[in-house]
A and B are shown apart, each in its own frame.
Chain A
Amino acid sequence: MTAVTEADALRTPRRSRRSTTLAIGCVLVGMIVAVAVVSFFWVPYDPADTSGDRLMPPGLPHLFGTDKLGRDLLTQLMIGARIALTVGVGSVALGGLLGVAGGLAAGFATRWLDDTISALLDILIAFPTLLLAMLVVAVRQASLGSAILAIGLAMSAIVARLTRVLVKRVLSQDFITASRTSGTSWPRVVTEHVLPNIWPTLLVNLALQLGLAVLAEASLSYLGLGPPPPNASWGSMLQEAQATVLTSPVGAIAPGVLLVVLVIGVNLIADGLRDVADPTRRRTR
Chain B
Amino acid sequence: MATYLLRRAAFLVISLFLASVLLFLLLRLLPGDPANSLLSIGATPEQIAAARHQIGSDLPLLEQFVSWLGRLVTFDLGTSFVSTLPVGPEIASRLAVTVPLTLLSFLLAVVVAVPIGFIAAYRSNSWYGSLLSGLSQLGIAVPAFWVGMLLITVFSLRLRVLPAGGFPRDDWADPADALTSLALPVVTIALVMSASLIRYVRSATLDVLGSDYLRTFRALGSSFTGAMWRHGLRNAAVPVVSILGIELATTFLGAVVVESVFALPGLGSMLIKGIAQHDYPVIQGILFVSTFAVLVIGFVADLVQRLIDPRLRGTVSGNAR
Contacts and interface: CB of A to CB of B under 8 A. Distances in A.
A6 B279 CA distance: 69
A126 B294 contact: yes
A131 B146 CA distance: 18
Contact of A284 (B143, B207, B275): B207
B143 A259 contact: yes
B18 A120 contact: yes
A122 B140 contact: no
B interface SS class: helix
Interface in A245-285: 245-246, 249, 252, 256, 259-260, 263-264, 267-268, 283-284
B1 interface: no
A139 interface: yes
Given A215-B143, A225-B275, A256-B143, A134 B256 contact: yes
Nearest to A212: B140
Nearest to A256: B146
Contacts of A119: 14-15, 18
Contacts of A123: 15, 18-19, 22, 291, 295
A245 B153 contact: yes
A264 B138 contact: yes
B279 to A, nearest CB: 10
B253 A139 contact: no
Contacts of B298: 126
Interface in A187-236: 211, 215, 218-219, 222-223, 225, 235
B300 interface: no
A72 B170 CA distance: 43
B221 interface: no
A122 B149 contact: no
A123 B203 CA distance: 27
A267 B137 CA distance: 8
Interface string B126-159: 0000000000011011111110011011000110
Q: Which interface class (under 10, 10 to 19, 20 to 34, 35 or more) fits B?
A: 35 or more
Contacts of A252: 149, 153
A106 to B, nearest CB: 13
B206 interface: yes
Nearest to A215: B143
Nearest to A217: B143
Contacts of A126: 249, 291, 294-295, 298
Nearest to A161: B319
B141 A131 contact: no
Contact of A245 (B18, B149, B203): B149
Contacts of A30: none
B260 A223 contact: yes
B235 interface: no
Q: Which interface class (under 10, 10 to 19, 20 to 34, 35 or more) fits A?
A: 35 or more
A246 B157 contact: yes
B153 A246 contact: yes
Interface stretch (B25-33, B40-48, B53-61, B62-70): B25-33
Interface in B255-303: 256-257, 260-261, 271-272, 274-275, 278, 283, 287, 290-291, 294-295, 298
Nearest to A218: B143
Contacts of B152: 242, 245
B86 interface: no
B207 A222 contact: no
A246 B283 CA distance: 36
B105 to A, nearest CB: 15
A135 B143 CA distance: 20
Nearest to B290: A131
A264 B19 CA distance: 34
22 contacts: A120-B22, A122-B15, A126-B294, A127-B253, A127-B290, A130-B257, A135-B27, A135-B283, A139-B27, A235-B143, A238-B145, A238-B149, A245-B149, A245-B153, A245-B157, A246-B153, A256-B143, A259-B141, A260-B138, A260-B142, A263-B140, A267-B140
Given A123-B15, A126-B249, A219-B145, 14 more contacts: A124-B22, A130-B256, A138-B275, A139-B31, A211-B141, A223-B256, A223-B260, A242-B152, A249-B153, A256-B142, A259-B143, A263-B140, A264-B137, A284-B207
For the complex of A and B, 7 pairs with smallest distance between CB atoms = A263-B141, A139-B30, A138-B275, A256-B146, A126-B294, A264-B141, A222-B145
